[in-house]
Amino acid sequence: MDLIKEQIAEAGSFGLFLKHILRKVFLEDWLIKLVALGVTLALWVGVTGLSTPTREQIPAVPITLRTAENLVVSNTPLETASIVVSGDKRRLGQIDRTALRFYLDLTGLGPGEHVVDLLPQADALDLPNGVKVEEISPAYVPIRLEAVQEKMVGVTIETRGELAQGYEEYSRTAAPASVRIRGPESAVRSLESVATERIDIGGSRTDVIVRQVRLNVASAKINLLDPYVDVTIRIGEERMERIYLVPLGDESGRRATVVLFGPRTPLLQTQPSDLTVTLETNENGEPTPKLTLPRNLEGKVEVRKLAL
């Protein structure tokens, strides 16, 4: 009988204890418990969401080519490729897109047409651990390699504008007159000259001298190894041709025919009496006329004819 009473007493105490625990759990400090539950749920959702595998496309990843020193790429290859990567969101968020680059090592290839697979190059991309390249578009890059050739070509001087009225261009020269170019054999072979930037000669009456004029080449595949030249354009008065009948300096009365070419004004101002023609004996013993110009014509005119 006493044992039964003790068991009932214990049962009653346990019931009170259980009731106390349930009250503590569900009724007391319920606001704090609700906030804690919300934080726990948020963390759980965040962690499971970030760890969920995700696919993402990264467009326009630059392609850099490396060739042997004696070879050059002669076609216009693709400059970028698009990739699709997979991994959890945290890892994908760590990708430095500005550092991504395909490095295509072509040093083992010879001249000719080649198709380079981009997929093996994806292993060299700077991707975080756990991120995998799923797709590459395009998957292949066509490459044409040619032997490198160097060549000397002439320089063409380009100008713009008109000279002052009554003046003309006597000559134009570049120093150096020829320069070195380097590039694919097919492009270099067909190129015979390169042009300067346009030099303004509008309204000029005197020589135009320009230092370090840049050269231009139409093909981006060709490198100018000597990219600058000095240019001299000789300018002067319009020239003309004039005929003079000059008496010989003897008693024969004969006259020599002299044809001069040079600037108009000094030629019109020059009279036959200003010119001197004498006879000299050449190595064959024959008399040969010799012309002496006045000082104002020296170095300015061309003798186009001197005959008896």
Residue 74 sits at φ, ψ, to 5 deg, of -105, -10
Closest to 104 measured CA to CA, from 74, 69, 80: 80
CATH second-level architecture of 148-237? Beta Complex (2.170)
pTM of the model: 0.64
Residue 50 is predicted with a pLDDT of 46
**The length of the chain, given as a count of residues:** 308
Residue 10 is predicted with a pLDDT of 52
| Distance (Å, whole) CA 119 – CA 121 | 5
Residue 198 is predicted with a pLDDT of 97
Per-residue confidence in pLDDT tens, the chain, 308 aa: 554 445 445 545 656 656 666 565 555 555 665 656 566 655 544 555 445 778 899 999 999 999 998 999 988 888 999 999 999 888 888 888 888 999 899 999 999 999 999 888 888 888 888 899 999 999 999 999 999 999 999 999 999 999 999 999 999 999 999 999 999 999 999 899 999 999 999 999 999 999 999 999 988 889 999 999 999 999 999 999 999 999 987 777 889 999 999 999 999 999 999 999 998 888 888 888 999 999 999 999 999 999 98
Break the chain into its structural domains and give their ranges: 54-138, 148-237, 239-307
Q: Where are the beta strands (DSSP E) in the chain?
A: 54-66, 71-73, 80-87, 102-105, 112-117, 132-137, 140-156, 159-160, 167-175, 178-184, 193-196, 199-200, 208-216, 223-224, 228-237, 239-247, 255-263, 276-281, 287-292, 302-307
Would you state the torsion angle of the CA atoms of residues 233, 235, 238, 239, taken in this order, to the nearest 10 degrees? -70
Residue 130 is predicted with a pLDDT of 86
| Distance (Å, whole) CA 302 – CA 305 | 9
Give the distance between the most distant pair of CA atoms in the chain.
182
Residue partners of 26: CB distance under 8 A and separation at least 6:
none
Q: Which residue has the tokens 């036959």?
A: 272
Both tokens of 92, joined, read 């994908």
Residue 164 is predicted with a pLDDT of 97
The yes/no answer on whether domain 54-138 falls in CATH 3.30.70.360 is no
Closest to 229 measured CA to CA, from 217, 213, 216: 213
